[in-house]
Structure 1
Amino acid sequence: MSFAERFENLEIWQQAQELAVQIYSEFGASSPSARDLRFNSQIQAAAVSISNNIAEGFDSGSNPEFARFLRIAKRSCAEVRSMFYLAVRLNYLSSARSGELRNDAEVLSKRIAAFTRTLK
């Protein structure tokens, strides 16, 4: 089914976890967005969704189902990237930092897409 025995061994899952940790650090209690609970909740949920969908798909038992979950994870990367643009407009994040994080999310998205192609 896949190239790893456990989802924890997948590089895309590890990278997704790292992105989520970065987002929690950027949008935590001491951040400029701290009082915007809805914004923080949305970007954090989208970030966590990436690694969770990779894990859930891995344990689905079939390549087509795994690929479906990977496509969902990829869409969550897009949601996170969109939220970074909004974070700049709301002055929650500098343009430079937003660019760095968007790049990380875009690289992850491309890696998820490439991994998805290996399942066919």
Structure 2
Amino acid sequence: MATISKFEDLDIWQLARAQANELWQIYSVGLFAKDFELKNQINGSSGSVMDNIAEGFERSGNKEFINFLIIAKASNGEVRSQLYRVSDRFYITPEKFEELKLKCESLSKKITAFIKYLKNSDKKGFRFS
């Protein structure tokens, strides 16, 4: 694994950021922009994914980091669930829904893989040598 010195180096954080930005492009226009409750929920949960990855990284060690990654994974599941409502309300096409859902599922798998990596790592945390 490459040397990670800050949370911005993490592939999962970069993917979570891209997901949040892609969703913002969708909910900031058209009828979706006026669905304030759903817009705020998906904004919050997509932001929570990247924010929990960042916060966990900045904690003292892998155990805390893993806890925050679990929260990030759960928030990502919340995003995926909200995508169904977005689709059901016809804010996106069925094709766009499938694309976003697959990206969401991929991010979830990568977070899970990273949790497994940390659990099996001899390192106590990224901030310690």
Return the TM-score normalized by structure 1.
0.94
Deviation at 1:32, TM superposition (A): 2.4
Q: Which runs of 4+ in 1 moved over 6 A?
A: none
Alignment of 1:1-120 (within 5 A): 3-28=3-28, 30-120=29-119
Deviations 1:2-58 (A, max 9, x none): 951100100100110000000000110x23211111110000110010010000000
Structure 1 stretches lacking a partner, 5+ long: none
CA distance in 2, matches of 1:33, 1:14: 25
AA aligned opposite 1:38: E
Q: Is the 8 A contact 1:32 1:91 kept in 2?
A: no
Deviations 1:62-119 (A, max 9, x none): 1010000000000111111101111111111111101100111110010000001111
If you compute each CA radius of gyration, which structure gives the higher value, 1 or 2? Answer: 2
User: Tell me, what secondary structure is at the counterpart of 1:119?
Assistant: helix
CA RMSD of aligned residues (A): 1.2
User: Tell me, what secondary structure is at the counterpart of 1:34?
Assistant: helix
CA distance in 1, matches of 2:76, 2:30: 21
CA distance in 1, matches of 2:57, 2:43: 22
Determine what percentage of the aligned residue pairs are the same residue: 38
